[in-house]
Amino acid sequence: MLVYLAIQGGGYYMSYAIIRNQKYKRENLKGIFRHNERKNENYSNKNIDKEKSYLNYSLKDPKYSYEKDFERIRKEYNLKGQIKTVSNIACEYIITSDNEFFNKIGEKETRRFFETAYKFVCEYKNLGEQYILSAKVHNDEDTPHMHLVFLPVVHTKDKKGNDIDKLACSEFWKEKDSYRRLQNAFYEYIILHNFELERGLPKEETNRTHLSIEEYKKITNYEKTKEILQDITLELPEVPSIEDFNKVVFKRNEKIQKEIIEPKDKLIEKLYSENKQLHREIERQVNVIDEAEKYQKERDKILEDNENLHNKVYQMEHDYKVKSNSLDFRYNNRKEELEKEFEEKAFNLEYEYKYKINKLEKENNKLHKIIKTFEETVKKFIKWLCKKFDLLSGDEIVRDFEKETGNSLNAEKQFTKQEKFRDFEKEL
């Protein structure tokens, strides 16, 4: 599922507290209900292992379906608010961390983590448990995560000053920095309950932004990300001009490639080159093909399920036929969604390469330690031989060996000499 890694001073690794939100219209409820509650026979998401679905559990089960429960709760609590075809009537939190974190804390603490997150949602913005449709923990995918579906209800007053509960997604997320407030509040709540997780730097410091739920699956996958970017073109019915939309997508992809992918690729390449010598000295060459396959597997975990994406396409085709709103509204709404998607994908790529860099730095440090230990062992062995067989001093033996063989017991010097000799042969 979802993973964040932090690279801090000295290659320090820290898991992140993750919460992401997705808004849904009425047409989406059936699809997400069947997915979350595992009602489908088959899934396009290859990460779902149906043999492990018995490990899934609920912190709150829907009474009927999401659609029926929506109408039931709306009537039972006399929810105000005008509901249109284009209105977002439900939200879904994806709550998780990475496998490193869950493996570390164990099954019992993992359940406490999700129970704590559930309590947070009930308390956040004074929502109330009654407006939660479902809270399902999935353990049949790569990383444990919770799907929590709720109605975005605000507690306010009507024109007469009476207290009312109003279903209004736009008011629930009305603040410009609503998602940042959510993430800050969730992180503080989780830390308060003794979970060692990181919040991460704000986007003002990192220039990175957030991923959508459909895209925000464990670790990164550049190829899969490109597929997502391409699939987004299916949302064209929301945009008045196909030509303008294609220009926006092209510029966005170009910026991601230039500002995120290429610089990070160069940095990874540099680190790999620096520790290449260490790999050769201990006869542990990096198999580029195997590394690529491993990296691909990690990135393949980016998609949980494309069923929602297909549902969104269907919804967009349907909404395009509905003339309940003006083209100005539809264009502005789509423009905002595109900006959010760009920010989310940029953040995903930022994380991907920081994870790779951290991994290479750890491997580099480990190899340095191995060579140092080996050289110390060789020196101790020479001293032992001298003492055992009453030979020359260790330093004299080393000097005679290096003089007669032309080899050095210093691994780095020997490797540098060999490299220079091979370069000389190439020049000839």
d(CA 330, CA 328) in angstroms, rounded, equals 5
In this predicted structure, what is the pLDDT of residue 245? 55
Q: Which residues touch 118 (CB under 8 Å, ≥6 apart)?
A: 59, 60, 132, 135, 146, 148
- Tokens 């060579």 identify what position? 371
Radius of gyration of the chain, Cα coordinates, nearest whole angstrom: 28
- For residues 363 and 272, the model is more confident at 363
- Domains of the chain (ranges; CATH) run 1-200 (3.30.930.30), 215-368 (no CATH), 369-427 (no CATH)
Q: Residues 122-145: pLDDT tens digits?
A: 999 999 999 999 999 999 998 999
Q: What pLDDT shows up at residue 137?
A: 96
The angle at the Cα of 410, spanning 406 to 411, to the nearest 5 degrees, equals: 100
Distance CA 357, CA 368 (A): 17
CB under 8 A, 24+ apart: contacts of 206-210: 206/350, 208/343, 208/346, 208/347, 208/350, 208/351, 209/340, 209/342, 209/343, 209/344, 209/346, 209/347, 210/20, 210/179, 210/340, 210/343, 210/344, 210/347
Residue entry with tokens 């947070």:
120
Q: How confident is the model at residue 225 (pLDDT cuts 50, 70, 90)?
A: very low
pLDDT in tens, 243-256: 555 666 666 677 77
Digit-coded pLDDT (tens) for 325-359: 667 677 777 878 888 888 888 788 888 878 888 88
pLDDT digits (tens, 9 = 90+) for 110-124: 999 999 999 999 999
> pTM (2 decimals)?
0.48
Between the CA of residue 339 and those of 75, 109, 303, 332, what are the distances in Å? 36, 37, 20, 11
- 224 within 8 A of 318, measured Cβ to Cβ: no
- Give how far the C-alpha of residue 373 lies from the chain's centroid of Cα atoms, to the nearest Å: 37
- Pick from 378, 374, 203, 402: which is nearest to 282 by CA? 374
Summary mean pLDDT of the chain? 77
pLDDT digits (tens, 9 = 90+) for 55-108: 999 999 999 999 999 999 999 999 998 888 888 999 999 999 999 999 999 999
H-helix or E-strand spanning residue 106: helix 99-123
Kindly state the average pLDDT of the residues 380-385.
Answer: 80
3-state secondary structure 305-325: CCHHHHHHHHHHHHHHHCCCC
Higher-confidence position of 221 and 199? 199
pLDDT for residue 223 is more than 60: no
Contact 120, 137 (CB under 8 A): no
Q: What is the mean pLDDT of residues 1-24?
A: 62
